[in-house]
Amino acid sequence: MIRSTRCDGIRVAAPVIALLFNASPALAQKPAPEPLDRVAAEALFQEARALLEKGDYAAGCPKFEQSLALNPSASTMLNIARCQEHDGRIAAAWESYHRALSLNHETTGAERQKVLEDIATKGGRALEPRLPRLRIVISRSPEGLIVQRDGKPLLATVLGEALPADPGPHEIRASAPGYRPETRSVILEEGKTTVVELSLEAEPRVGGHAAKGGKGGVPAWAWVSGGAGLALGGAAVFFLADDLSAIKALRNNCQSDQGRTYCSPGYDVDHDNARKNRGFGLFVGLGSASVIALGAAVVGIVTAPRARKPDDSAGLSAVPVIGRDRAGAAVSGRF
């Protein structure tokens, strides 16, 4: 049986709602260091605001998501949290409130920044008692264990922890080479912690080998390492681009004359200097981690046991033998 939980969300005073709606991401944030499409973000924000004022959450909320992708801002993130609360996605809304606090550091104006911080803090605290939590316990953790929640892999470090999750149905699956996978379905309720205990059973063994383990194949950790390496490489490229963008901005706005540096009025040179240093450092660090992870994946793929061919299996066969002065058969086989 699947239970559905209706969540009306927390009510916010009218002035606060007006503040969130009237504060567009283009006006509330500092100029983006990278060329983001703030015009399109502003248009989507205004459309979303108008739709939510009519009560059309289904059409308005996705537009806030699109606006956030084009120009991240605390006010847009807070509206997304409000949408998630309306849909009963309590854990997602709780996370969005915390993300809004992080984005709020870029908000212009100390007074406005304080107002948005209060909204995000109160919204997150109000949801905490209502959060469903899911704790996954694996009684035996074999090599190559992979645990997924709703199709997404979980890190081994979070197993055994009571993690926030949205109310409603969830599916947990655990698998490992040489073991039978186990899947469990649960329904989470508001304010309650649900514990799921899994114990993988080994596959039946025949002749000292697992029934399904003699086929060879690349170990799961090699694919995970390769995926992590690609993700780290992509992040390294992003920060390299950010570093180059900061360098370009510095060159366009500052020049040296007789050993002194002069910058354009109003230009925030410290901000781009910090971007440049941060971007280069993260590029080097993430790039190195990417090379290591990809190298480990290559080793795992190259050294993986190969599957046996049908003609390599154990058995006996008769081979005809014909000579000048004799004929017969020889018995050969693989054991």
Q: How far apart are CA 134 and CA 119, in angstroms?
A: 27
pLDDT of residue 132: 93
Strand pairing report for 254-257 and 315-322: unpaired
Are 29 and 104 spatial neighbours (Cβ–Cβ below 8 Å)? no
Cα dihedral sign for 87, 173, 190, 124?
negative
One digit per residue, the tens of pLDDT, for the chain of length 335 reads: 333 333 333 333 333 434 444 444 444 454 444 446 888 988 998 999 899 889 999 999 999 999 899 989 898 999 999 999 999 999 999 999 999 999 988 888 899 989 999 999 999 999 999 999 999 998 878 889 999 999 999 998 888 899 999 999 999 999 999 999 999 999 999 999 999 998 888 888 655 455 444 455 778 888 888 898 899 888 888 888 888 887 887 788 887 777 677 787 877 777 877 887 887 888 888 888 889 988 888 887 888 776 544 444 444 444 444 444 444 444 444 44
Q: What residue has token string 């050993």?
A: 259
C-alpha distances in Å from residue 325, one per residue of 31, 179, 235: 97, 56, 75
pLDDT of residue 281: 86
Spell out the alpha helix ranges (H) of 195-268. 220-253
Please report the beta strands in the chain, taking only residues with DSSP state E, as ranges in sequence order.
Answer: 133-138, 146-149, 152-153, 162-164, 168-175, 179-180, 182-188, 193-198, 201-202, 205-206, 209-210, 254-257, 260-263, 315-322, 327-334
pLDDT of residue 206: 58
If one counts every other C-beta atom within 10 angstroms of the C-beta of residue 127, the result is 24
* Beta bridge partner(s), residue 315: 334
Note the Cα 108 to chain centre separation in Å: 29
Residues in the chain: 335
Kind and range of the H or E element at 297?
helix 269-302
If one counts every other C-beta atom within 10 angstroms of the C-beta of residue 309, the result is 7
Q: How far apart are CA 80 and CA 92, in angstroms?
A: 9
Shortest CA distance to 67 belongs to which of 35, 51, 43, 86? 43
* Beta bridge partner(s), residue 334: 315
Note the Cα 167 to chain centre separation in Å: 20
Q: How far apart are CA 248 and CA 162, in angstroms?
A: 46
C-alpha distances in Å from residue 267, one per residue of 4, 29, 38, 45, 270: 53, 16, 19, 28, 9
The model's pLDDT over 52-62, given as tens digits with 9 standing for 90+, comes to: 889 999 999 99
pLDDT of residue 221: 80
Which tokens is 42 given?
């502003």
Q: Write down the domain spans for the chain.
A: 14-128, 133-204, 220-255+267-302
Report, in angstroms and rounded to the nearest whole number, the Rg of the chain calculated over CA atoms. 29
CATH architecture group of domain 14-128: Alpha Horseshoe (1.25)
pTM of the predicted model as reported, rounded to 2 decimal places: 0.49
pLDDT of residue 26: 43
CATH topology of domain 133-204: Immunoglobulin-like (2.60.40)
pLDDT of residue 16: 40
pLDDT of residue 310: 45
pLDDT of residue 250: 73
Which tokens is 254 given?
């500052």
DSSP-based three-state secondary structure for 335: coil
